Amino acid sequence: METGETLVRVDLAAESVASEPVPESWRRKYVGGKGLGARYLYEELEPGTDPLGDDNVLLFLTGPLTGLLPGEQRSVVITKSPLTGAFLDSYAGGSMADRLAGSLEDHVGILVTGRADRPVRLEIDGGEVSIEPAEDWWGLDARETDERAGEAAVACIGPAGENGVSYATIASDGGDHHAGRGGAGAVMGAKRLKALVARDDPPELDADLRELHRRYEEAFATDDTGRWQAASETVETLDFANEVGVLPTRGWQEGRFDGADGIGIEAVRDAAHDRERADEPVPGGFQVESDDGDSVPRGSTPISLGAGLGIDDFDAVATLGSVCDRLALDVISGGNAVAWAIRASQEGLIDRDLEFGDEEGARELIEEITHRSSPLGETLADGVDAAAAEYGGDDLIPSVKGMALPAYDPRGASAMALAYATSDRGACHRRARPVEVEALGGTDWSAVDQVNRVIAEQDRRAVLWSLIADDFFGEALSATLGADWLAAVDREYEPEELRRVGERIWTLIRLFNCREGFTREDDTLPQRLTEPLEGGPNDGAAIDAAGFEETLERYYERRGWDDGVPTDRTLERLDLEGL
């Protein structure tokens, strides 16, 4: 059962839809998902393409295992980021992923070019894609758009994407799930593409896949990661980060939040009225009520909109999260933007009365950012770096490549500093998260240990996100990198070959970013992180700038990159010569 041999190309300007074969060598070398999308983006884009211009490419891709694996299904959106100007891949779960796979049938995904002259949506049904008018959908939020589509699965933008906010998301399930960070939603908005609508059911599993599914599901249910996820989803991330002293608190000033108990896992459990979904035993979920309707909080919600803003009331945090979900605004970047404004207010850089702990003030500013309805909101809609360039205060909120840091303060887990700095899409805690071992285990890693750990995780996730596997269930695939699953769909790989695929994908994306003008200077950390952390077990900890540069150099040497640029020898070894 081999699928994904073709791709649908949609030109919104010409209102054309065509199916084309995926080069066999690309399918072999990049597998699917992240890898295949990176190869298309490298091929399709001219260097310096405006992310919000007509020539940017937007890819909606499934992987060879989407709809087949246990756990929450995933699809990926790949484009050039309007926030960073770098490569962007963003993953979303929920109902859209496997129904997109079922609706596309033998197509691996959709490549969108051009700009429509009016709002449109893409309807996907029975392996066919059509461009349909969506003027009456424009202006709707994520929940309203989902309702408009009826029983179909939807991936859509909200007001944030329509207004070109550089960290607008693409929402599904009414805002319960998002392709977040980096601004893929803004790219959709610039193309006047309101939504994708998938009408068909998920793919059906044959007997061999059902047996493989059963065995892995049973094994995952008793695995440490599986038990942890079923019990707490990602919301316990806040409790973990607070315990080890790496929780970004009150605008990255402290490493512990004294109000964490009020917004952590126990508070979520108390508020949840639907902890388990009968049709999704792996993973579970928490659904809570807020003033803005039902919400499914993720770990990023209490971290960025709670501790990050000094808000210790769970109802207030859930409401802010629900607001962001409906507007389709990334909660991490949105929370950091508000935190920047509060600190800028305290420093006298802006004429605005803002305070930590003020839910109403935070909500007002989030609305202003989404609608670009005030000078401050207009500037913050382009990110914290843009705000710092306009008002000053570039040392208030740390960022890498224009993307504000997310969940963990690297001053309390130095390997995360390397992970953030070398992430392919800007500061991201999902490409590699050594903090889970380094901080909780009290591990004192050498520079070599840090480099080895970060590279291994980056390469492994590059493979798993090409399959595409859920982050949590992906842990169950670590030993073989999914080779047995790929064999079940007639894609034969040895695990060692897949490890090489991961390194190839990571290096290809580095080539893309280098071509866009990124250099070693963009792999550095902000000055803010060289200042001591306050509070908690890491009180006084800071990033040693000289030590970090030495570790970064070791990373480049191990990667086969000359001052951050892949060498000819490395390209030849990874079968990338000619790029």
Contact present, 61 and 80 (Cβ < 8 Å):
no
Percent of the chain exceeding pLDDT 70 equals 92
Give the residue from 351, 370, 396 where a domain finishes: 396
Instruction: Looking at the structure, tell me whether residues 23 and 153 fall in a common domain.
Output: yes
Residue 2, pLDDT score: 46
Residue 94, pLDDT score: 87
Specify the DSSP class assigned to residue 427: S
Q: Closest Cα partner for 467 from 50, 187, 69, 10?
A: 69
Which band of pLDDT confidence, cut at 50, 70 and 90, is reported for residue 297? low
Instruction: Looking at the structure, tell me whether residues 414 and 385 fall in a common domain.
Output: no
State how far the alpha carbon of 65 is from the alpha carbons of 127, 209, 219, 261, 466, in Å: 17, 10, 18, 38, 9
Give the residue from 198, 216, 242 where a domain finishes: 198
Please report where in the chains the tokens 């390469």 appear, as a residue: 459
Cα–Cα distance, 531 to 162 (Å, whole number): 38
Instruction: Looking at the structure, tell me whether residues 337 and 424 fall in a common domain.
Output: no
Kindly tell me if the per-residue pLDDT of 283 is higher than 60.
no
Domain span at 536: 410-573
Q: Taking residues 358-364, what's their average pLDDT? A: 96
Q: Is residue 1 part of a domain?
A: no
DSSP 159-227: HHHHTT-TTB-EEEGGGTEEE-STTHHHHHHHTTEEEEEE-SPPPPP-HHHHHHHHHHHHHHHHSHHHH
CATH number at residue 261: 1.10.569.10
| Among 219-228, 288-297, 416-425, 528-537, the least confident range | 288-297
Phi and psi torsions of 190, nearest 5°: -65, -30
Instruction: Looking at the structure, tell me whether residues 443 and 485 fall in a common domain.
Output: yes
Q: Which strands, in side-by-side order, build the sheet including 177-179?
A: 128-133, 120-125, 193-198, 153-156, 170-172, 177-179
Is pLDDT larger for residue 388 or for residue 225?
388
Q: Taking residues 480-492, what's their average pLDDT? A: 93
Q: Taking residues 454-481, what's their average pLDDT? A: 90
What pTM was estimated for this model as a whole? 0.93
Residue 1, pLDDT score: 35
Instruction: Looking at the structure, tell me whether residues 298 and 384 fall in a common domain.
Output: yes
Instruction: Looking at the structure, tell me whether residues 130 and 66 fall in a common domain.
Output: yes
Specify the DSSP class assigned to residue 533: P
Residue 563, pLDDT score: 95
Contact present, 439 and 565 (Cβ < 8 Å):
no
Residue 279, pLDDT score: 42
Cα–Cα distance, 251 to 398 (Å, whole number): 9
Percent of the chain exceeding pLDDT 90 equals 71
HSE of 66 in the Cβ direction (CA atoms, 13 Å)? 38
Q: Taking residues 420-434, what's their average pLDDT? A: 91
Cα–Cα distance, 488 to 63 (Å, whole number): 14
Residue 166, pLDDT score: 98
CATH number at residue 132: 3.60.9.10
Q: Taking residues 231-250, what's their average pLDDT? A: 82
Tell me what percent of the chain is helix, strand and coil, each rounded to the nearest 5.
45, 15, 40
Q: Taking residues 317-337, what's their average pLDDT? A: 95
Handedness of CA 477, 40, 76, 566 (dihedral sign): positive
Q: Is residue 401 part of a domain?
A: no
Number of domains in the chain: 3
Cα–Cα distance, 541 to 411 (Å, whole number): 6
Q: Is residue 222 part of a domain?
A: no
Which band of pLDDT confidence, cut at 50, 70 and 90, is reported for residue 284? very low
CB contact set of 309 (below 8 Å; sequence gap of 6+): 250, 251, 320, 335, 338, 339, 342, 356, 357, 362
Give the residue from 396, 423, 444 where a domain finishes: 396
Kindly tell me if the per-residue pLDDT of 215 is higher than 90.
no
Cα–Cα distance, 535 to 29 (Å, whole number): 47
Instruction: Looking at the structure, tell me whether residues 391 and 425 fall in a common domain.
Output: no
Q: Taking residues 389-418, what's their average pLDDT? A: 92
What would you report as the CA-atom Rg of the chain, rounded to the nearest whole angstrom? Answer: 22
Kindly tell me if the per-residue pLDDT of 274 is higher than 50.
no
Residue 567, pLDDT score: 97
Q: Is residue 363 part of a domain?
A: yes
Instruction: Looking at the structure, tell me whether residues 246 and 187 fall in a common domain.
Output: no
Which band of pLDDT confidence, cut at 50, 70 and 90, is reported for residue 445? confident
Which band of pLDDT confidence, cut at 50, 70 and 90, is reported for residue 72? confident
Residue 515, pLDDT score: 97
List, in sequence order, the alpha helices (H) in 286-349: 300-304, 314-327, 331-346
Kindly tell me if the per-residue pLDDT of 278 is higher than 60.
no
Residue 367, pLDDT score: 98
CATH number at residue 492: 1.10.599.10
Q: Is residue 297 part of a domain?
A: yes
Instruction: Looking at the structure, tell me whether residues 453 and 547 fall in a common domain.
Output: yes
Query: Coil, strand, or helix at residue 557?
Result: helix
Which band of pLDDT confidence, cut at 50, 70 and 90, is reported for residue 444? confident
Instruction: Looking at the structure, tell me whether residues 191 and 281 fall in a common domain.
Output: no
Please report where in the chains the tokens 């802010």 appear, as a residue: 320
> pLDDT for 32-55, tens place per residue?
999 999 999 999 999 999 999 999
> pLDDT for 164-187, tens place per residue?
999 999 999 999 899 999 999 999
Q: Is residue 220 part of a domain?
A: no
Cα–Cα distance, 511 to 374 (Å, whole number): 38
Mean model confidence pLDDT for the chain: 90
Which band of pLDDT confidence, cut at 50, 70 and 90, is reported for residue 276? very low
Which band of pLDDT confidence, cut at 50, 70 and 90, is reported for residue 287? low
Kindly tell me if the per-residue pLDDT of 559 is higher than 70.
yes
Which band of pLDDT confidence, cut at 50, 70 and 90, is reported for residue 294? low
Instruction: Looking at the structure, tell me whether residues 11 and 61 fall in a common domain.
Output: yes
State how far the alpha carbon of 451 is from the alpha carbons of 113, 407, 416, 447, in Å: 38, 20, 10, 6
Contact present, 485 and 212 (Cβ < 8 Å):
yes
Q: Taking residues 63-92, what's their average pLDDT? A: 94
Contact present, 472 and 229 (Cβ < 8 Å):
yes
Q: Is residue 129 part of a domain?
A: yes
Which band of pLDDT confidence, cut at 50, 70 and 90, is reported for residue 217? confident
Which of 34-43, 232-241, 435-444 is the most confident on average?
A: 34-43
Kindly tell me if the per-residue pLDDT of 483 is higher than 80.
yes
Q: Is residue 314 part of a domain?
A: yes
Residue 296, pLDDT score: 60
> pLDDT for 61-71, tens place per residue?
999 999 898 88
Instruction: Looking at the structure, tell me whether residues 163 and 263 fall in a common domain.
Output: no
